[in-house]
Amino acid sequence: MKKNEHSKTNEILECFEQISKIPRCSKNEKEIAEWLMNWAKEHNFEARMDKVRNIVIKTPGSPGYEKSPVVVIQGHMDMVCEKTPDSPHDFSKDPIKFVYDGEWLKADRTTLGADNGIAIAMAMVLATDKNIAHPPLELLFTVDEETGLTGANNMAPGFIDGKILINVDSEDEGVFTVGCAGGVNTNLSYPIEYEAITAGYKQYKVTAGGMKGGHSGIDIGKGKANALRILGRSLYQLKKQDIDLRLVDVKGGSAHNAIPRDSFAMVFLPANDAEKAKNTIAEWSKVFNSEFKATDPDLTVSISENNEGNFAKVITAAKTQKVIELMLVIPHGVESMSPDIPGLVETSNNFANLKVENEAVKILTSQRSSVVTKLQALSHRIESAARLAGGEAKSGEGYPPWQPNMDSPLLARSLKLYEKMFNKKPVVEVIHAGLECGIIGDRNPGMDMISIGPTLKFPHSPDEKIHVGSIGKVWDFIVELLKELK
């Protein structure tokens, strides 16, 4: 590990490296939860786990702070597990490999998991440092944040006692987050039918890849390419050339909150149309490169003969057409901007995932909005698109927006302290991404909350990296803030 001038940064990164050896993809938090419970036992901290494996670890206040109001330090255990196509990494067992690049820490062709493992590491170091003055602490670690905040959603009222919460899941040092969008996921299913492969047809693979992807909340307003949308447009252009293309498989995307970077479609088409298909794809690859040259300079679309899969049948012509049209009609990107906060995306959708499974095309979308009624309206629109095509759709329960409280005593104290410590004013913002604060506040009325964190770039993608120097600044701020919360 690269040594840093800030001694606590080294300690935090050492702890983070231990955490990063443990598998913790969303919905696979059992091992990390048990590890944390054992850690609490080793340090004689009171700890409990609820039915979904959320954990709260309680540490007493330091001398003079025993009767101070309890402060909750909160983060989530799970991480988005994304990797590059050439990575051999197995998230179910392999440790994340750290790569130091100047002032930044990243991983070897995978997500780093600093979102939100760095919060766990900081909280653990904080709890064991005997030289820090602080009120009684509750370290709250939730599960499954990345696939719908289901850990926070299933946390029972009264699981925590504190009414002051510091969430360490924001991604820009010097920025205080005081509100966020709500969200809901929708699952669509479109039934498909098969028929025999026509003589003289050959199998090809259409691939759309090389896109940057990114976080569907933070990056949705940047106009990045969506690999599923690019693939759908490519297939549509092949059909426009009167090529009798038949789908057999199509796949792209992973997590609901990650913009798809790669996708492919296995197709059969007449052998004598192969040259026309290659020319069409080559032409449209140039079009896409031009459209997304600023955001996705490495975008590629290709078609090649391929014999993977041993397919014995193809999707009918009518159903192939419907699937392609459904790929085009599912919305992706910004739906509306906030009329109240300049530059803030108010409502959006991420066309997150598509696959063929059990004789149906399955699609996952993820909607966000800071306005509940607009979130509902966009979800209803997507559900209606599925039904109009002849499919089914079901939206989940979702999670509420976190409405900002600009009169928050915690915010006022934090603003004053940050300016005093660093001789500059922090930025106060509401974000389009989802944070668990909205749900936790809803479950625990009267909660005073703020979200902070070290600088993190490109979360939810293999380009994820954390600015090492910002870790120490956030640490110093939390330490000083806790001293004042007596």
Active-site positions? 78, 145
The sign one gets for the Cα dihedral 150, 156, 157, 162 is: negative
Q: Can you give the chain as a three-state secondary structure string?
A: CCCCCCHHHHHHHHHHHHHCCCCCECCCCHHHHHHHHHHHHHCCCEEEECCCCCEEEEECCCCCCCCCCCEEEEEECCECCCECCCCCCCCCCCCCCEEEECCEEEECCECCCHHHHHHHHHHHHHHHCCCCCCCCEEEEEECCCCCCCHHHHCCCCCCCCCCEEEECCCCCCCEEEEEECEEEEEEEEEECCEEECCCCEEEEEEEEECCCCEECCCCHHHCCCCHHHHHHHHHHHHHHCCCCCEEEEEEECCCCCEECCCEEEEEEEEHHHHHHHHHHHHHHHHHHHHHCCCCCCCCEEEEEECCCCCCCEEECHHHHHHHHHHHHHCCCEEEEECCCCCCCEEEEEEEEEEEECCCEEEEEEEEEECCHHHHHHHHHHHHHHHHHHCCEEEECCCECCECCCCCCHHHHHHHHHHHHHHCCCCEEEEECCCCCHHHHHHHCCCCEEEECCCCEECCCCCCCEEEHHHHHHHHHHHHHHHHHCC
Task: State the Cα–Cα distance between residues 282 and 300, nearest whole angstrom.
Answer: 9
Phi, psi dihedrals of residue 159, rounded to the nearest 5°: -65, -30
Phi, psi dihedrals of residue 188, rounded to the nearest 5°: -110, 145
Task: State the Cα–Cα distance between residues 281 and 379, nearest whole angstrom.
Answer: 33
> Tokens 């040594």 label which residue?
3
Give the largest Cα separation in the chain, rounded: 84
